[in-house]
Amino acid sequence: MALLEVKKLGISFGGLRAVDEFSMTINKGDLYGLIGPNGAGKTTIFNLLTGVYKPTDGSITLDGVNLTGKSTIEINKAGIARTFQNIRLFSNLSVLENVKVGLTNHYKYSALTGVLRLPKYFRMEKEMNERALELLKPFDLQDDATTLASNLPYGKQRKLEIARALATQPKLLLLDEPAAGMNPKETAGLMETILTVREQFGVTVLLIEHDMSLVSGICEKLSVLNFGQLLCEGKTSEVLSNPEVIKAYLGE
């Protein structure tokens, strides 16, 4: 069953056609990869999917709901969460608080309840703490719960971003170069984590990645983007042996 359907998506920045006629279908439970050379428009597609940019043409549908032109906030509430290529954590908050911010829209109590410290405040905060710790566990971050996010080592910061995105209970998780800057050992660990997360939280994953070991290791399907246009899509093994893809991206 199709979870995300993108049809003929396009965006222009002035005279530049950054993404053109891009279509993609992701089924529930898929681990989908989006690859392509630098500047091909991969992150632009993420920004279109999350409402950072409004598409000039085309449509985006998630689980039957039309999300075209919706705001980032509405899209997140509809079930798309993302991480960023250049890490964007809440650096002055602790690891636990970062995840709790992600839980904000799911554990609601009013500002007044918080100020008056009504029983509901303690109950909700307790639930949030438990849930946040649960979310940190697959990433092996639970022991760093009270550490400031900015004091975490790089690899853990990337993982924390994923945990925070998962806290918003997404149907579709977008990971923008999750393995960037990681060594092979860390990348292998990350691959494990992504698979566990998909299993445990039942999310569908779409990721952008340049590390081919990760792409060929865990992605089931791929779309290849070149100059803003879809070059090729299909099963990972087929796509990676496609001569056009090899020519445009992988190199002969």
Partner 1 sequence: MKLKIKPHTRKSFLTYALVIAAFTATQIYISSGSASNMFQGLLVPFCVYSIAAASLNLTVGILGELSLGQAGFMCIGAYSSAIFSVVTKDTITNVWIRFPIALLIGGIFAAIFGVLIGIPVLRLRGDYLAIVTLAFGEIIKNVFAALYVGYDSKGLHFSMTSQGDLGLEPDGTMLIKGALGISGTPKDSTFVIGFVLLLLTLIILYNFIYSRTGRAVMSIRDNRIAAESVGLNITKYKLITFGLTAFLAGISGALFSHNLSILQASKFDYNLSILILVFVVLGGIGSIRGSVIAAIVLTYLPEALRKTGSSLTNYRMLIYSVILIVMMIFTSNAKIRGFFSAQFMKLKRLVIKDKTPAVKEAE
Binding site for partner 1 (CB under 8 A): 50, 52, 72-73, 76-77, 81-82, 84, 88-93, 96-98, 100-102, 104-105, 107-111, 113-117, 121-122, 124-126, 128-129, 133, 142, 145-146, 164-165, 167-168
CB of 206 to partner 1, least distance (A): 15
Alpha-carbon distances, residue 231 vs 6, 90, 247 (angstroms): 15, 37, 11
Q: Which is nearer to partner 1, 20 or 79 (CB)?
A: 79
Return the bridge partners of 12, or none.
17
Return the bridge partners of 17, or none.
12
Q: Which is nearer to partner 1, 77 or 171 (CB)?
A: 77
CB of 41 to partner 1, least distance (A): 19
Q: Which is nearer to partner 1, 107 or 227 (CB)?
A: 107
Q: What are phi and psi of 29, to 5 degrees?
A: 90, -5
- Would you give the distance in Å from CA 130 to the centre of its chain? 23
Q: Which two tokens stand for residue 6?
A: 């993108």
CB of 225 to partner 1, least distance (A): 22
Q: Which is nearer to partner 1, 130 or 244 (CB)?
A: 130
Q: Which is nearer to partner 1, 167 or 245 (CB)?
A: 167
CB of 100 to partner 1, least distance (A): 6
CB of 125 to partner 1, least distance (A): 6
Is the separation of the CB atoms in 23 and 230 below 8 Å? yes
CB of 102 to partner 1, least distance (A): 5
β-pairing verdict for 204-208 and 31-35: parallel
| Alpha-helical segments (H) within the chain | 42-49, 72-78, 95-102, 111-116, 119-136, 154-167, 184-201, 212-218, 236-241, 243-245
Q: What are phi and psi of 146, to 5 degrees?
A: -95, 0
Q: Which is nearer to partner 1, 167 or 215 (CB)?
A: 167
Return the bridge partners of 232, or none.
224
